[in-house]
């Protein structure tokens, strides 16, 4: 709960602002009344110098400068005559004014099916997925989900089964009304009574003859939920809301009564059907209003009032720290201390190159007294080839680099897969600007052997404009538009028009077989740049997601798309790229998941995300520069240990988040430390797990620890959650056990005849990048000394030899020969021959015992290494 609180306060309080002067705010900022039936409510909010808000609508003094223009009843305005006036609000010694405009005061707008009736269905859940909006409707009646098809809904209400749902001769007896008021059995129950405004709206429409709307009926083009920022000082406080809709004819309308409300955490903030928000337990939440095809949100928090916080004023390394610390200060979160050199060394090695530092690198870094040694190390690691491997792997996951079974007209052969993977790695090695990298992919055409970027459009499923548009939006814009394929997105801005307009960029894409049977050629037909809207069959032309429609007739529209998508002023692209990079180093994005940007999933630090995106664009999309900024920030270098103020923070980066090593890095780390080697299919000997080119090549260890199969572009494919299977495999599986047993490192270390303390220190430094504590050293030395004592060696050897079938058979043979020898006369030839056999077998048995006793030290230290590999300190980056 406190986690949501942190995010919400951060969103509400402006960056860089100290305590502001108290203010009185009136919502909306202007009122427009159009027609004699129009009504408009206003909300008055007081904001104190700490940013805490209070609803003073009921207690504020409201007045109109010209009462002849409009009437004011409590906090609701009604038109009197055309003209302009000003609403004045006064409370607590503060004053605020908003303009009021009245037009058409002597005219009454006819009731509209789309403007008045459809919102009633949405308001009461009639067209949601659990009611008549289900794919097959409910109880024999179907409406379009969330009202995406008004024409179809009108037909089904007025024309399907004529006379059943509406009765124009006796409107009050219409089934549509009788079920709503409970006069007739209704699965959805009673929705309202006959005095309700919504009942009156439906009845008025029926009495007017249930007319359909004309061709020029205005459509909503935007919605606002006001106030957008609410900060409660205590539980139980309330805040009225007003929902304002903007229409295509330029008008605005108060739709508070018609909007549908939701909350994502009612324990913190609940919102009623009238839009009134009530604070619950302390924490943070988001409330939403949906009207038409739009969903908008507002942040609501309930502040803690019992802390005695004092800002520690930590130093800032760069702009990242300035933005992070500015928010933390307002949130009363003290950042953790700077991490130790040892913690930083391990963290930055694993994050930048996916491998642990060696002993020599450890010693050199800790011995360096240069205050800029961390920055120098970052620069060194950025130039390592392993850094290239890390980002080639990450883009291989996002772009689904894997070979697929060949199917006529689509698919990706292994040869094309290797070409694709090699091209991506080359782009990373050249530090190709991310905008140019993305643009090349978007316009990729031709042979998928000769033109690797063309493989963006070859995959395991048939190429369709819809699936391609979904993947492009998710990877490059961080947006999941899949919901809008069948209906307007219930929790975001995207509509079916947006979806099919964006899909039209790929409508002309085709695949055909090349001259070689395994080859796929990607082509585009410029004359096929439209998609069919499934509701009304309209041909949708290419339209940027959330943007304009370019003129691409007769052209490959992907070129225009690439130019728009990768432009420096495209905030969605630059912030998605920056957020993806950020998430790699912190284990979570500022928007998380990184590919699920939506109204109901806002960034935890909007200013930080915007700054990172701008910096990336200003640096011409040079990812290394942004990585350098992130790693040099104090925020990245904070310790994982928390303090009382930030111990529950999971989203605001007040301390380093402990994150499990991803599968490839974990396996490569174990392999590097033990000096062993892994073998993977389709890969040469010595290939590290990070370097595996394709998603279908894996092993049990990688699968268990969540390696991405690269079947979808979803960031969720990389699973970094710890689970029981992983713990059991580390303890009982053959991977770690075999690598410890086959280790080339341990025998070489023991051959140096070092003291137990030195050997244990070496194991700790190689695995955990730190020296053991005095307590750890003492306990482990005691174990080593106990397990290598002569009596213990004999005991262990006996125990192991008892389970050795060969040794047991030899022992039985030796006893038999010794018995036969005892029976032979001394000095006889038979005794001499048996004596030689007995001596040879005794030598064999003694050698076996000596080997076991000699290997005891390696076994003991191997067990210590095995234990370190199984520790959470090893398997997690911190």
Instruction: Please give the angle made by the CA atoms of 699, 703 and 707, to the nearest 5 degrees.
Output: 110
Reported as a pLDDT band with limits 50, 70 and 90, residue 587 is: very high
How do residues 217-253 score in pLDDT, each as one tens digit? 998 988 999 999 898 888 899 999 999 999 999 999 9
Please provide residue 257's backbone torsions phi and psi, each rounded to the nearest 5 degrees: -70, -25
609 close to 591: Cβ distance less than 8 angstroms: yes
Task: Using CB atoms within 10 Å of the CB of residue 470, give its burial: 0 to 12 exposed, 13 to 18 middle, 19+ buried.
Answer: buried
How do residues 143-176 score in pLDDT, each as one tens digit? 988 888 898 999 999 988 877 889 898 999 999 9
For residue 818 the two structure tokens come to 């010794």
Q: State what percent of residues in the chain have pLDDT above 70.
A: 96
What is the length of the chain?
878
For residue 614 the two structure tokens come to 């701008």
What's the rounded Cα separation, in Å, for the pair 687 and 680? 7
* Backbone region of residue 584 per phi and psi (left: phi > 0; alpha: psi in -120 to 50; beta: other values): alpha
Burial 705-734 (b: 16+ CB within 10 A, else e): bbbbebebbbbebbbbeeeeebeebbeeee
Taking alpha carbons only, the member of 788, 752, 753, 751 closest to residue 864 is 788
How do residues 736-761 score in pLDDT, each as one tens digit? 999 998 998 898 888 888 999 999 99
Mean pLDDT for the stretch of residues 767-780: 96
Position 333 scores a pLDDT of: 86
For residue 366 the two structure tokens come to 């800790």
Please tell me the pTM assigned to this model. Answer: 0.84
Residue partners of 369: CB distance under 8 A and separation at least 6 = none
Reported as a pLDDT band with limits 50, 70 and 90, residue 14 is: very low
How do residues 804-827 score in pLDDT, each as one tens digit? 788 788 888 888 888 888 888 888
Mean pLDDT computed over every residue of the chain: 89
What's the rounded Cα separation, in Å, for the pair 709 and 107? 64
277 close to 238: Cβ distance less than 8 angstroms: yes
Position 535 scores a pLDDT of: 84
Position 319 scores a pLDDT of: 97
507 close to 531: Cβ distance less than 8 angstroms: yes
How do residues 691-708 score in pLDDT, each as one tens digit? 999 988 889 999 999 999
300 close to 268: Cβ distance less than 8 angstroms: yes
Strand 252-254's sheet: what is its strand order?
A: 220-226, 242-247, 252-254
Q: Would you say residue 17 has pLDDT above 50?
A: no
Decide yes or no: CATH 2.40.50.140 for domain 2-107+220-302: no
Please provide residue 539's backbone torsions phi and psi, each rounded to the nearest 5 degrees: -85, 115
What's the rounded Cα separation, in Å, for the pair 160 and 118? 17
How do residues 347-372 score in pLDDT, each as one tens digit? 999 999 999 999 999 999 999 999 99
Strand 23-27's sheet: what is its strand order?
A: 23-27, 43-47, 53-55
Position 750 scores a pLDDT of: 86
Taking alpha carbons only, the member of 436, 430, 400 closest to residue 416 is 400
Mean pLDDT for the stretch of residues 608-633: 98
Mean pLDDT for the stretch of residues 831-855: 79
Instruction: Please give the angle made by the CA atoms of 819, 822 and 827, to the nearest 5 degrees.
Output: 140
Please provide residue 779's backbone torsions phi and psi, each rounded to the nearest 5 degrees: -65, -40
Q: Which one of 2-16, 135-149, 699-713 scores highest in mean pLDDT? A: 699-713
Reported as a pLDDT band with limits 50, 70 and 90, residue 130 is: confident
Comma-separated ranges of CATH 2.60.40.1080 domains in the chain: 2-107+220-302
Taking alpha carbons only, the member of 691, 690, 693, 688 closest to residue 677 is 688
Rg of the chain taking only CA atoms, in angstroms: 36
């Amino acid at each position: 709960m406190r986690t949501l609180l942190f995010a919400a306060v951060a969103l509400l309080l402006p960056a860089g602002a100290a305590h502001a002067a108290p203010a009185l705010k009136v919502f909306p900022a202007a009122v427009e009344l159009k027609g004699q039936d129009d009504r408009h409510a206003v909300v008055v909010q007081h904001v104190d110098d700490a940013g805490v808000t209070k609803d003073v609508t009921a207690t504020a003094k409201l007045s109109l400068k010209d009462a002849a223009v409009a009437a004011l009843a409590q906090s609701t305005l009604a038109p009197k005559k055309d003209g302009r006036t000003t609403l004045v609000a006064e409370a607590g010694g503060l004053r605020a004014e908003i303009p009021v405009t009245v037009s058409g005061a002597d005219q009454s707008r006819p009731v509209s099916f789309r403007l008045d009736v459809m919102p009633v269905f949405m308001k009461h859940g009639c067209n949601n997925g659990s009611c008549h909006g289900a794919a097959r409707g409910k109880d024999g009646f179907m409406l379009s989900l969330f009202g995406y098809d008004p024409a179809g809904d009108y037909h089904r209400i007025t024309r399907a089964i004529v006379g059943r749902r509406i009765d124009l001769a006796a409107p009050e007896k219409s089934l549509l009304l009788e079920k709503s008021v409970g006069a007739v059995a209704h699965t959805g129950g009673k929705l309202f009574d006959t005095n309700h405004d919504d009942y009156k709206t439906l009845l008025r429409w029926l009495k007017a003859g249930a007319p359909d709307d004309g061709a020029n009926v205005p459509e909503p083009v935007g919605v606002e939920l006001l106030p957008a920022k609410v900060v409660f000082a205590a539980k139980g406080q309330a805040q009225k809301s007003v929902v304002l809709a903007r229409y295509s004819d330029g008008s605005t309308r108060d739709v508070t009564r018609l909007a549908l409300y939701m909350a994502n955490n009612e324990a913190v903030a609940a919102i009623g059907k009238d839009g009134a928000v009530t604070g619950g337990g302390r924490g943070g939440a988001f409330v939403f209003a949906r009207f038409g095809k739009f969903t908008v949100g507002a942040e609501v928090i309930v502040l803690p009032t019992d802390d005695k916080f004092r800002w520690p004023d930590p130093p800032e390394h760069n702009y990242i720290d300035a933005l992070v610390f500015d928010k933390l200060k307002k949130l009363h979160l003290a950042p953790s201390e700077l991490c130790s050199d040892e913690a930083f060394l391990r963290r930055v090695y694993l994050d930048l190159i996916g491998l642990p530092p060696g002993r020599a690198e450890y010693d050199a870094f800790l011995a360096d007294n240069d205050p800029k040694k961390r920055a120098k190390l970052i620069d060194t690691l950025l130039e390592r080839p392993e850094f290239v491997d890390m980002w080639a792997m990450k883009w291989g996951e996002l772009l689904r680099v894997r070979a697929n079974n060949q199917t006529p007209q689509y698919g990706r052969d292994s040869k094309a897969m290797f070409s694709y993977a090699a091209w991506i790695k080359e782009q990373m090695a050249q530090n190709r600007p991310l905008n140019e990298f993305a643009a090349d992919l978007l316009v990729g055409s031709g042979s998928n052997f000769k033109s690797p970027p063309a493989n963006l459009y070859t995959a395991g499923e048939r190429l369709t404009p819809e699936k391609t548009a979904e993947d492009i939006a998710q990877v490059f814009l961080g947006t999941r538009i899949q919901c809008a394929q069948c209906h307007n997105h219930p929790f975001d801005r995207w509509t079916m028009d947006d979806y099919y307009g964006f899909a039209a960029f790929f409508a002309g894409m085709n695949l055909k077989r090349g001259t070689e049977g395994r080859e796929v050629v990607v082509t585009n037909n410029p004359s096929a740049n439209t998609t069919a809207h499934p509701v009304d069959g309209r041909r949708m032309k290419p339209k940027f997601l959330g943007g304009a429609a370019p003129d691409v007739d007769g052209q490959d529209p992907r070129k225009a798309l690439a130019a728009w998508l990768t432009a420096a002023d495209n905030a969605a692209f630059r912030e998605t790229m920056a957020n993806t990079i950020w998430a790699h180093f912190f284990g979570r994005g500022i928007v998380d998941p990184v590919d699920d940007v939506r109204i109901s999933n806002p960034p935890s630090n909007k200013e930080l995300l915007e700054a990172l995106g701008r910096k990336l664009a200003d640096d011409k999309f040079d990812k290394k520069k942004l990585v350098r900024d992130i790693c040099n920030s104090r925020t990245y270098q904070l310790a994982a240990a928390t303090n009382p103020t930030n111990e529950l923070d999971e989203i605001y980066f007040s301390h380093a988040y402990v994150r499990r090593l991803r599968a490839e890095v974990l396996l490569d780390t174990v392999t590097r430390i033990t000096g062993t080697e892994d073998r993977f299919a389709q890969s040469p000997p010595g290939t590290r797990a990070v370097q595996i080119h394709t998603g279908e090549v894996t092993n049990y260890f990688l699968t268990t620890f969540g390696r991405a199969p690269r079947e979808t572009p979803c960031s969720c494919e990389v699973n970094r959650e710890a689970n029981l299977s992983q713990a059991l495999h580390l303890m009982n599986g053959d991977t770690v056990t075999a690598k410890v047993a086959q280790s080339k490192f341990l025998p070489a270390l023991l051959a140096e005849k070092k003291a137990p303390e030195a050997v244990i220190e070496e194991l700790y430094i190689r695995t955990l990048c730190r020296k053991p504590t005095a307590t750890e050293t003492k306990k482990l030395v005691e174990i080593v000394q106990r397990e290598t004592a002569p009596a213990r060696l004999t005991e262990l050897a006996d125990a192991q030899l008892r389970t050795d079938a060969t040794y047991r058979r030899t022992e039985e043979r030796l006893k038999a020969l010794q018995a036969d020898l005892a029976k032979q006369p001394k000095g006889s030839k038979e005794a001499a021959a048996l004596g030689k056999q007995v001596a040879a077998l005794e030598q064999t048995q003694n050698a076996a015992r000596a080997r076991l006793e000699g290997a005891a030290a390696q076994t003991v230290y191997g067990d210590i290494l095995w234990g370190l590999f199984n520790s959470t300190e090893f398997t997690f980056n911190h």
